[in-house]
Amino acid sequence: DGGITQSPKYLFRKEGQNVTLSCEQNLNHDAMYWYRQDPGQGLRLIYYSQIVNDFQKGDIAEGYSVSREKKESFPLTVTSAQKNPTAFYLCASSVPLGPYNEQFFGPGTRLTVL
Amino acid sequence: AQKITQTQPGMFVQEKEAVTLDCTYDTSDPSYGLFWYKQPSSGEMIFLIYQGSYDQQNATEGRYSLNFQKARKSANLVISASQLGDSAMYFCAMREGSGTSYGKLTFGQGTILTVHP
């Protein structure tokens, strides 16, 4: 089955540690995105990538880093510079030139920093 | 300035009745797309419906329809014959299409819909 996987579903880390969230897709989509969602809020864009080896900052990129070495993978690192990293993180992918360009989402990773 | 505004934090509807979830947007780009997503308590985001800025007719997908009023910059979601499984958070989102921004979505704050039996 084609889809987007994010692992792990729940992640706990100590303050000051970097942590990497995984996102893999087998939909053959060119574009991938990372969003952050805080309780009761909408999604905010952290980073996005439209092709391999290229990515752009979204609205809240500070304290985060990404890489896009393979089409299928777009890992997100939450660094110790991110002041309030506890949140729900969603990865998405899309076909940039599709009719709707709707984004397909993974199941999300809930990160808690203790 | 807010690009997507959902003014209803929560809505209640009786099972089998219709409900309208409001969404207004703000953009100066003539080319844009409007999306509605459903987020159940599990957290996944499910794409429901899309309306393009140049589409002449309102979009429909099964029990979902989008009431698109371009001059008012509103894109309300109408769910007909509500079901208990429709209880979820609903997000309106906009894509402004031009250059490298193509594909980026801006989301509203969401509306929690509760369907009563």
For A14-62, write each residue's pLDDT tens digit: 988 999 999 999 999 989 999 999 988 899 999 999 889 999 999 999 9
Q: Across chain A, what does the average pLDDT equal?
A: 92
Give the start-end residues of each E strand in A4-42: 4-7, 10-13, 19-25, 31-37
Q: Please work out, in degrees rounded to the nearest 5, the angle formed at the alpha carbon of residue A107 by the alpha carbons of B113 and A67.
A: 130
Q: What is the pLDDT of residue B104?
A: 81
Residues of B in contact with A44 (CB under 8 A): 107
Question: What is the rounded CA–CA span in Å between residue B85 and residue B40?
Answer: 9
A110 CB neighbour count, 10 Å cutoff? 15
Q: How far is CA A25 from the centre of its chain?
A: 12
pLDDT at B99 exceeding the cut of 70: no
To test the contact with chain B by mutation, choose from A37, A60, A110 the residue with the greatest count of B C-beta atoms within 10 A, namely A37
Does the pLDDT value for residue B103 go beyond 80? no
Give the pLDDT band of residue A99 (cuts 50, 70, 90). low
∠ CA(B89), CA(A22), CA(A56), 5° rounding? Answer: 80
Specify whether the CB–CB gap between A11 and A111 falls below 8 A: yes
Q: Are A16 and A91 in contact (CB under 8 A)?
A: no
Measured CA to CA, the distance from residue B109 to residue B97 in angstroms comes to: 21
pLDDT of B102 over the 90 cut: no
Point out which residues pair with B96 in neighbouring strands.
B32
How many Cβ atoms are within 10 Å of A6's Cβ, its own excluded? Answer: 20
Interchain proximity B47–A104, CB inside 8 Å: yes
Do B44 and A108 lie within an 8 Å CB cutoff?
yes
Instruction: Classify residue A93 by burial, with Cβ atoms within 10 Å: 0-12, 13-18, 19+.
Output: buried
Q: Which of B33, B104, B96 is nearest to A49 (CA)?
A: B104
Q: Which of B35, B46, B100 sits opposite A56 (nearest CB)?
A: B100
One-letter identity of residue A24: E
* Model confidence at A102: pLDDT above 90: no
Distance from CA of A81 to the nearest CA of B (A): 25
DSSP A73: B
Q: B21 and B39 in contact (C-beta within 8 Å)?
A: no
**Closest listed residue to residue A92, CA positions, set A2, A26, A4:** A4
Is residue B39 within 8 Å of B54, Cβ to Cβ?
A: no
Q: Quick one: pLDDT at residue A43?
A: 95
Instruction: Please indicate if any CB of chain B lies within 8 Å of the CB of A44.
Output: yes
